[in-house]
Structure 1
Amino acid sequence: MGKWNRFTNKGIVALITAFMVVSSVGTVSSYAAEVNAEVPQVIEKASPSVVAIIGKPTSDADKAWEKNRYNLAHGTGVIVESNGVIVTNAHVVKDMKNIAVVTSDGKTYNGRATNIDEESDLALVKIDAAGLTPAKIAASSSDIKVGETVAAIGTPISFALRNSVTVGIVSGIDRSVNSQYQLIQTDAAINPGNSGGALINMKGEVIGINTMKYADFGVENLGFAIPVDTLKYVLKHFQLYGKVKRPYLGLELEESWEAVVGLPSSTGLRVAYVDPDSPAAKAGLKQDDLLVSIGSSKLKTTVDFNEALKKYLPNETVSLTIQSGSSEVSKSITLGEAHSQETQWTQNSDDDSLDADRGKTKIGDSHYGWSMKYPAGLVKNHQSDDGDVVSFVDAKGEFSLSIRVDNQQSDELSPSALLSKLASDDEDEYDYDYDYSGAPSTILERQYVKREGSPYAKVVGRSGDDGYVQTRGYLHKGSLYTLHLFVNKEHYNNDFKQNSYNDLLDSFQPVFDGKDPSLKDISVYSSGNTTFKNEYGLSFDLPANWEQGGYTSGSSFFSDDYSQMVRVNVTSASSGDTLKAWVDRQRKQFEAVYVPKYRSVKEPEELTLAGVPALKVAYSSSLGSKWMEGYSLFFIKDKYKYEVEFTYPQETDGDEVKELLDTLASSIKVDKDNMDKELGFIQDLDELLDPNRTITYKNEKYKYSLQIPESWSSSKSYSYDNKDQSSKTFFFTGGYLIVQADPKATYESLVKDEDAAQKKSHDSDNEYTFTDSEVNLFDDVKAKQYVVNYESDEVPYKETIYIFRKNNISYTVILRIDEAVQTAANEARLNKAFESMKFLDGGKK
């Protein structure tokens, strides 16, 4: 009975389904046929307006890679004027040089970016052409309907796939994924390279410019396009002003929790920050006000805010509705103009060809003095910072080649010794990042080739089960040039290919002819300066041999011998703060650390940095041995305070200091567009610093507590037992306080040991002096006190040691302060910290 019921149920469902299909098949088939017939006609009509864009990307991180002929970037564009005006995404062409545009009929034109607007991610490219077919732009974004059929035309994945078409529907409108403005969502496939292409409806009209694909595990068919209203807004501003003129209020706004997670929001936008002297500040807007509307536009999200501002121009007056506390008020405000970076276009300095190596048939390094043939398929893979190791790969993946230069070799190395060295080279000497394949596992050939001018040693062998490696070694003028060619097994046994590999190796010469125009120089050796940048938009130049510190969050830079340092500190400028007030605070804090004998601070010197007023302060300090000198450069720009500090030993050559300081100061720049977009308010901790504020340290195991200055740092003694707290050290500049607790040692034994240690130190060095006495501590505690005055490594200091016993625990407390920081305030804080010591009895003080 059960089986019959299941069969019958399935049969009924099948019958009902079949009936529904028969009933609607005419409609479905008719619609599908209509769409299928429509799409080719629409694409045929729209394709002539879509172009492919290719160019050479720039890279601040690796200029050598920028020059690689195979390092190209591509995207898509849409013709908007018949004389060669093309719209695309800003991210496609912002960092692209030597732009080439290919039209749908296969013609290639040189292009140049004329206008770029990163806020909307739109840009214009111009080519010298006439009679092109401009795209038909839809009338309004309001006509776009969810569910309507659309097609995306672009250049996905590879430039060889230009003018590819994908079809889908409009999945949603009014989206705002990673955008300042609303976007169209579509399930038509949008892939890398589609950026800047057309999203068209079945009338052949452009309803959007494809901009991004949401890529994540398990996510499919989630692409986005810039809608036509934003496109028209930007194109109009480009035409009228050459840029997008955006209104400026001077507000940082924060969305409600509901808006952030995508729920309908019932509140406006919270004012998180108001720029001083901005239109918003002048209108009386304050932090924590709620911005409810601009004109007639209600605001729930920052996208609402940006969309509303598109209706206005700078210097226009608008009405804002503000909720301040429990009341709503209207404010009239005259809009300012937001900063907009001007488009700056620079072509490649060599030529305007896409091929960075056009005309180059040889490659080499002018600093290390070598050269060889440069076949078109040879691609530089990596190069060491000093340029002494470089690796290449074949564009088709057939082989890899590495060249290493060792300047510490002797020309007296015999052929036998050289062959032996090549056959047994230690793999650990090489960095696998450079594709070194190691010494061969089985040697197939070994010989010394007496070639005129540049003889070489040659070893050929199997490299595991993967392929073969040929190693050659050339000795020339004190340098050993080692070449490693690794070839896959399948290609090595091809005689024709093997001849081409040998031809490449045979072309190697330990010489570089700088007058040969066909020779490409890949030398990265530089004795000049390197530009360093950080996430706060700051950049500056330092000598090429300087390195960025690895343990200071990227804020410190060091000379090659670590004797000189540049430290960068960036914090937010609090409302009402001034450059002079800030520098005065910093000087007072510095002076409070050292006694006058051990410090010097000069009056601030006015200068200009990054286009704004700045102050330069020279100072020096010492703990008694070596003096360190330095300069601090202070300036405030775009709501942030920048301090660039340069320190060096006092004995450093004055001309060297002046040259480096001049280079640093003249090269300092701040580019707001290079700031991390997620930067917020960064509190200057020095503004909140109270050197006398204390916190409680409590040691339950050894039954004591202390009030320690909050600005001090602390450390436990080294111990295999992380829970051991028998010794605790608290540090400050030029001194420390140590508490050692020992429940096993007696008071008498500790005193006896310390007496012996002090006398031994004095007997060893007459300059070491101490006094000892018995004192009472904490009202009723007998203690032994030692006061030491000594100069260790030219650093004079005072050390006071107390030994006492309380609650069956013996304590040794050491107070040390260097003479250089022995100000009344510092010494008082140290003594007060010790005097705050209280003892716990059963968990109670």
Structure 2
Amino acid sequence: MGNWNTVAKKGATALLAAFLLVSLQGPSPSYAAEINAEVPKVIDKASPSVVAIIGKPSYDSDKTLEKNRFNLAHGTGVIVESNGVIVTNAHVVKDMTNIVVVTSDGTTYNGHATNIDEESDLALVKIEASGLSPATFASSSDIKVGETVAAIGTPISFALRNSVTVGIVSGLDRSVSSQYQLIQTDAAINPGNSGGALINMKGEVIGINTMKYADFGVENLGFAIPVDTVKYVLKHFQLYGKVKRPYLGLELEESWEAVVGLPSSTGLRVAYVDPDSPAAAAGIEQDDLVVSIGANKVKTLVDYNEAIKKYLPDEKVDITIQSEGKTVTKSVTLGEVLHPETKWREDAEGSDLDADRGKTKIGDSHFGWSMKYPAGLVKGHQSEEGDSVSFVDAKGEFSLSIQVDNESDELSPSALLNLLTGSEEDDYDDMTPSTILERQYVKREGSPFAKIVGRSGDDGYIQTRGYLHEGRLYKVQLFVMKDHYNNDFKQNSYNDLLDSFKLSFNAQDESLKDISSYSSGNTIYTNEYGLSFALPTSWQKSSYTGNSAFFNADYSQMLQVHVTSASSGDTLAAWADRERKQFEAQYVQKYRKITDPEELTLAGVPALKTTYAETLGNKWTAGYSLFFIKDKYKYEVDVSYPQDEEGSELDDLLHSLTSTIEVDKDNRDQELGFIQDLDELIDPNRTITYKNQKYKYTLQIPEMWTSSKSYDNKDQVSKSFLFTGGYLTIDADTNTSYEDLVKEEDAAQKKSHESDSEYAYTDEETTILGGVKAKKYEVNYVSAKVPYKETTYMFSQNQIAYTVRLRMDAAVRTDANEARLNKAFASLQFLDTVTK
């Protein structure tokens, strides 16, 4: 297992894509209680076993996102042990901190997630309690399609905990956006019902509610995790603290019929075999068809998961496959899927559910301001630098923004008022009054300010205040809806909030909440492949290459990220060795250095680090490459820098990278497919034909070279073919004779030698390309400490004068590179002599 998710599944049908976690809302059915006279008794029996769960959603390190007291998430759980063990959905608590559990009688407990299994979407929450009412679990074999069931949970709002909806079992063994089979029900399941109980009319739990189908015109379509799967996961949690899943090392692909929901007549195609895996050791290969696991036929991924969960790691299982038309059975000793351990987390601000308990003021320690913090004030967007922040009122009555810009303290009151009015040159304002009602300079002791009050169209009113302090302009802007502005009581409260703004921040005041997002430390970057890592805040992403390249402040250091798919059977060692050989083939030995790979661990998997250095003869560029393979993708992180900058700063960068690199499949673009590593396909000796009809020549150029074209005032065209450390250039001239071009070249070569005696050249008459008479110049020179050799051939053919220059730096003049350059020149032919 572990690597079995399939490209086919990712791009399945719109039906599968529309299945969402119950955070989506849809219509709910209504059932009369008289459908079953026993329903109230059943609910009385089961409801004490169902709890409501509430907590704070966790975020990444982006400080511009607000964690306020109103930003909460909730779901439902089912008591499984009287001492406070509760089962719920993994998606309910996976990203939840500061968990609070409320029982049906209204008792509140602090809790924490002890076990999370995302594959089954089940988790355990523990509270310190005793004497609770654990649920009674049914058997999946007793569940019948059409029997009456009830769903108990916390829909929509936490105030609606232990709500009940009634319906029937609509279907069994459903396969929808889940690793395992599900129960289908038409009992209404709404946002917040996740993790709650689906019970039968004996009061027994037959499933844990997990998702619903939400789409326009679709009703009564919810799903629950069957009780047998719940029991399987709970048993593993109890015995091992996690679900011990067998690992085969296969990525399996369903047939077209299975993807669209038709009965499939074929097995699962092996799309990828993880190197050094149990499957690889057993001889299972790409494109084999997996027919059965033990005695269980498998035609879908859900079939596979249901079959494999009957085994434990280190057990042997017979796997029947079809390979090249033959059916064979292979005995495989199963490995184990490794998952990170669940850790109890609490918010950085403490264990209290209210993140701002005790905070009556708010401010920014870096920019040095503070003000009152009413309970209903909610922070919205904040710039990465922290110089701009917005707030909204929880009831929607007003919004407030604070912006800090550099500005001279010498502005006069009139200039400041004019600035706040919002002239055409004013780049600060995104809310300019349509009508000014008040404009004045308020001489408040210690912090005078400019004040503008005006109407904002027909929607409301804007008050803007501007303060000048220590080279900064602090602009505080309040927008109030029209219906509330003319209420004297509320207007007094708005003015009180504005009057509380101060140009100071008391770090010793425990009632003051600091929202500063300014940081001189690290910034976390995440790309579409789920790769994340930390870089110093001073670094920036390249505006040309998106997330793939990053530079330090002076552009002397660079980090590049390359992500490709791991081809079936490829290994970490083989990949790193290919990269090493390419590097060694590019440079002459005295101009390069490279170390043997160093083993380390990145993102929880084995990795290799290779350190290298290269030069063209002037300055050495050093760097290192980090290689690792995870979830069928190859991740390469390359860092380069001037070798003379090596020291503690770069050591810190390496430590930061290796300690923060992570890969999260949840952050990966779900539309990603196979990304071919082009280095696996490149043949440095493969050539392509370049043909120039106008200037009547053709030649064979290595496919990996690049090309460019330029013109001069004489209609002379220059075509260049480039590679690292060299080029081949062909100039074709129809206006200048061969003899004149030779005279010009002779003069240029002599002038270069006279200007610098180190510039040495030779010239001679020669014959090239099977009989073409030419003038040959050969130069060996060191330019800017970079030694190079350049050979120039000048000749005439078809009444066209040609100049061909072959240049190569000494650093890359390997036998192979030189042979490719000479071979490219030797392939030059003229169209009137080419056989058609």
Query: Comparing 681-690 with 484-493, which one deviates more in the overlay?
Result: 681-690
Q: Does 1:500 align with 2:493?
A: yes
1:527: Cα distance to partner? 1.7
1:548-584 deviations in Å (ceiling 9; x for gaps): 3454463332213322112233456667766666545
Assess if the C-alpha contact under 8 Å between 2:564 and 2:634 holds in 1.
Answer: yes
Q: Distance in 1 between matches of 2:731 and 2:189?
A: 67
Q: Distance in 2 between matches of 1:794 and 1:705?
A: 35
Partner of 1:648: 641
Partner of 1:5: none
Partner of 1:137: 137
Q: Distance in 1 between matches of 2:742 and 2:168?
A: 86
Assess if the C-alpha contact under 8 Å between 2:272 and 2:568 holds in 1.
Answer: no
Partner of 1:462: 455
Choose from 585, 604, 611 the match for 1:592.
Answer: 585
Percent identity between the aligned chains? 74
Assess if the C-alpha contact under 8 Å between 2:64 and 2:517 holds in 1.
Answer: yes
Partner of 1:418: 416
Assess if the C-alpha contact under 8 Å between 1:141 and 1:228 holds in 2.
Answer: no
1:757: Cα distance to partner? 8.2
Q: Distance in 1 between matches of 2:163 and 2:452?
A: 50
Partner of 2:255: 256
Q: Distance in 1 between matches of 2:444 and 2:426?
A: 30
1:319: Cα distance to partner? 2.8
Superposition map of 1:95-494 within 5 A: 95-141=95-141, 143-145=143-145, 147-216=146-215, 219-406=218-405, 408-424=406-422, 429-430=427-428, 437-494=430-487
Aligned length: 801
Q: Structure 1: which 5+ residue stretches go unaligned?
A: 1-30, 431-435
Q: Distance in 2 between matches of 1:841 and 1:170?
A: 82
SS of 1:194's equivalent?
coil
Assess if the C-alpha contact under 8 Å between 2:33 and 2:39 holds in 1.
Answer: no
Assess if the C-alpha contact under 8 Å between 1:442 and 1:463 holds in 2.
Answer: yes
SS of 2:547's equivalent?
coil
Provide closer, same or farther for how the CA distance between residues 370 and 335 of structure 1 changes in structure 2, counting only shifts above 3 A.
Answer: same
The one-letter code of the counterpart of 1:734 is G
Q: Distance in 2 between matches of 1:80 and 1:830?
A: 74
Assess if the C-alpha contact under 8 Å between 1:474 and 1:481 holds in 2.
Answer: yes
SS of 1:690's equivalent?
coil
Assess if the C-alpha contact under 8 Å between 1:437 and 1:469 holds in 2.
Answer: no
Partner of 1:3: none
Q: Does 1:766 align with 2:755?
A: yes
1:730-776 deviations in Å (ceiling 9; x for gaps): 3321233445667xx4452x875786588579759924787777766
The one-letter code of the counterpart of 1:507 is S
Provide closer, same or farther for how the CA distance between residues 156 and 626 of structure 1 changes in structure 2, counting only shifts above 3 A.
Answer: farther
Assess if the C-alpha contact under 8 Å between 1:59 and 1:66 holds in 2.
Answer: no
Assess if the C-alpha contact under 8 Å between 1:621 and 1:627 holds in 2.
Answer: yes
Partner of 1:526: 519
Provide closer, same or farther for how the CA distance between residues 63 and 192 of structure 1 changes in structure 2, counting only shifts above 3 A.
Answer: farther
Assess if the C-alpha contact under 8 Å between 2:85 and 2:125 holds in 1.
Answer: yes
Query: Comparing 120-129 with 415-424, which one deviates more in the overlay?
Result: 415-424
SS of 2:91's equivalent?
helix
Provide closer, same or farther for how the CA distance between residues 773 and 419 of structure 1 changes in structure 2, counting only shifts above 3 A.
Answer: farther
Q: Distance in 2 between matches of 1:821 and 1:439?
A: 62
1:306: Cα distance to partner? 0.6
Query: Comparing 262-271 with 663-672, which one deviates more in the overlay?
Result: 663-672
Assess if the C-alpha contact under 8 Å between 1:65 and 1:71 holds in 2.
Answer: no
Assess if the C-alpha contact under 8 Å between 2:61 and 2:524 holds in 1.
Answer: no
SS of 2:134's equivalent?
coil
Choose from 804, 809, 828 the match for 2:819.
Answer: 828
Q: Distance in 1 between matches of 2:317 and 2:620?
A: 60
Partner of 1:731: 722
The one-letter code of the counterpart of 2:95 is D
Choose from 568, 571, 575 the match for 2:561.
Answer: 568
Assess if the C-alpha contact under 8 Å between 2:151 and 2:165 holds in 1.
Answer: yes
Superposition map of 1:535-554 within 5 A: 538-552=531-545, 554=547
Assess if the C-alpha contact under 8 Å between 1:699 and 1:725 holds in 2.
Answer: no
Provide closer, same or farther for how the CA distance between residues 713 and 210 of structure 1 changes in structure 2, counting only shifts above 3 A.
Answer: farther
The one-letter code of the counterpart of 1:823 is T
Assess if the C-alpha contact under 8 Å between 1:57 and 1:73 holds in 2.
Answer: yes
Q: Distance in 2 between matches of 1:503 and 1:844?
A: 92
Assess if the C-alpha contact under 8 Å between 1:114 and 1:126 holds in 2.
Answer: yes
1:620: Cα distance to partner? 2.4
Provide closer, same or farther for how the CA distance between residues 89 and 513 of structure 1 changes in structure 2, counting only shifts above 3 A.
Answer: same
Does 1 or 2 have the higher relative contact order (CA < 8 Å, sep 6+)?
Answer: 2
Assess if the C-alpha contact under 8 Å between 1:423 and 1:459 holds in 2.
Answer: yes
Provide closer, same or farther for how the CA distance between residues 242 and 549 of structure 1 changes in structure 2, counting only shifts above 3 A.
Answer: same
1:46: Cα distance to partner? 3.8
1:360: Cα distance to partner? 0.3
Q: Structure 2: which 5+ residue stretches go unaligned?
A: 1-30
Assess if the C-alpha contact under 8 Å between 2:442 and 2:448 holds in 1.
Answer: yes
1:90: Cα distance to partner? 0.1
1:287: Cα distance to partner? 3.0
Choose from 663, 682, 685 the match for 1:692.
Answer: 685
Assess if the C-alpha contact under 8 Å between 1:292 and 1:300 holds in 2.
Answer: yes
Q: C-alpha root-mean-square deviation of aligned residues, in Å?
A: 3.7
Q: Distance in 2 between matches of 1:619 and 1:98?
A: 47
Partner of 1:70: 70
1:598: Cα distance to partner? 3.8
Provide closer, same or farther for how the CA distance between residues 397 and 787 of structure 1 changes in structure 2, counting only shifts above 3 A.
Answer: farther
1:444: Cα distance to partner? 1.8
1:808: Cα distance to partner? 7.4
SS of 2:347's equivalent?
coil
Assess if the C-alpha contact under 8 Å between 2:89 and 2:194 holds in 1.
Answer: yes
Provide closer, same or farther for how the CA distance between residues 739 and 534 of structure 1 changes in structure 2, counting only shifts above 3 A.
Answer: same
Partner of 2:18: none
1:628: Cα distance to partner? 1.9
The one-letter code of the counterpart of 1:285 is I
Normalising by the residue count of structure 2, what TM-score does the alignment of the two structures yield? 0.85
Q: Does 1:514 align with 2:512?
A: no
Provide closer, same or farther for how the CA distance between residues 746 and 77 of structure 1 changes in structure 2, counting only shifts above 3 A.
Answer: same
Q: Distance in 2 between matches of 1:753 and 1:566?
A: 46
SS of 2:374's equivalent?
coil
1:684-711 deviations in Å (ceiling 9; x for gaps): 4434433112233445676654322122
Assess if the C-alpha contact under 8 Å between 2:65 and 2:382 holds in 1.
Answer: no
Assess if the C-alpha contact under 8 Å between 2:272 and 2:567 holds in 1.
Answer: no
Assess if the C-alpha contact under 8 Å between 2:541 and 2:547 holds in 1.
Answer: yes
Query: Comparing 47-56 with 834-843, which one deviates more in the overlay?
Result: 834-843
1:211: Cα distance to partner? 1.4
Q: Distance in 1 between matches of 2:231 and 2:636?
A: 43
The one-letter code of the counterpart of 1:686 is D
Normalising by the residue count of structure 1, what TM-score does the alignment of the two structures yield? 0.85
Q: Distance in 2 between matches of 1:630 and 1:378?
A: 49
1:608: Cα distance to partner? 5.9
Provide closer, same or farther for how the CA distance between residues 39 and 836 of structure 1 changes in structure 2, counting only shifts above 3 A.
Answer: farther
Provide closer, same or farther for how the CA distance between residues 61 and 403 of structure 1 changes in structure 2, counting only shifts above 3 A.
Answer: same
Q: Distance in 2 between matches of 1:725 and 1:162?
A: 82
Q: Distance in 2 between matches of 1:827 and 1:349?
A: 60
Superposition map of 1:5-20 within 5 A: none
Provide closer, same or farther for how the CA distance between residues 780 and 202 of structure 1 changes in structure 2, counting only shifts above 3 A.
Answer: farther
1:57: Cα distance to partner? 0.9
Query: Comparing 351-360 with 45-54, which one deviates more in the overlay?
Result: 45-54
